[in-house]
Amino acid sequence: MSASLPDLHTNPLDPADAAGALPDQPPTVRPHSLWRAMARGVVGRCPRCGQGRLFRAFLKPVDRCGRCDQDWSLQRADDFPAYASLFITGHLVAPLAVHLARDASISSAMASAIILPITAALAIGLLQPCKGAIIAVQWRMGMHGFQRDPSADDDATP
């Protein structure tokens, strides 16, 4: 009796994976919704195929996807990931800061010791996901050097 191992390269909730795409086969170009492309970018995967890596270093995107050969050197995220990261961090940390400031039993030094590491961790930790999402938006919208894929116009299609 042989037990088959689960395929860890596919996401059973992803309709494209559930359709039977094998991880060793080259990915096919298929329409993407903007949200799916962004979700792939957030987790550091190629927004086009979802299988290749998007980053070769913390904030350095690969020049080309190793799976679908999409040219990612055309992206121009520039400083926007930092702005987005700080925007999100501020909205997450501000309620905590207000709460700690209102609590009379916590000194300002203690409040700072709580808030500053959380702020730094969030601001740095959100940089790569924000950059991945922004690259995905640029690619999906055909911005900068990216050519818009006319087959990707239907957002309702998975």
Residue 53 near residue 46, CB atoms below 8 Å = yes
Q: Does 16 bind Zn ion (CB under 5 A)?
A: no
Q: Does 37 bind Zn ion (CB under 5 A)?
A: no
Q: Does 81 bind Zn ion (CB under 5 A)?
A: no
The residue to which tokens 């050969």 are assigned = 69
d(CA 134, CA 132): 5
Query: How deeply is 133 buried, as exposed, middle or buried, from its count of CB atoms within 10 A (0-12, 13-18, 19+)?
Result: buried
In the complex with Zn ion, the residue whose CB is nearer, 30 or 111, is: 30
Q: Does 152 bind Zn ion (CB under 5 A)?
A: no
Cβ 50 to Zn ion, closest distance in Å? 7
The residue range among 48-56, 73-81, 97-105, 108-116 that interacts with Zn ion, by the rule CB under 5 A, is 48-56
DSSP 65: -
Q: Does 47 bind Zn ion (CB under 5 A)?
A: no
- Reduced to 3 states, what is the DSSP secondary structure of residue 42? helix
d(CA 158, CA 39): 13
Q: Does 45 bind Zn ion (CB under 5 A)?
A: no
> Binding-site residue total for Zn ion (CB under 5 A)?
8
The residues in 54-73 that bind Zn ion, with binding defined as CB under 5 A, are 65, 67-68, 70
Cβ 124 to Zn ion, closest distance in Å? 26
First to last CA, the chain: 37
Q: Does 49 bind Zn ion (CB under 5 A)?
A: yes
Where on the chain is the footprint of Zn ion (CB under 5 A)?
A: 46, 48-49, 52, 65, 67-68, 70
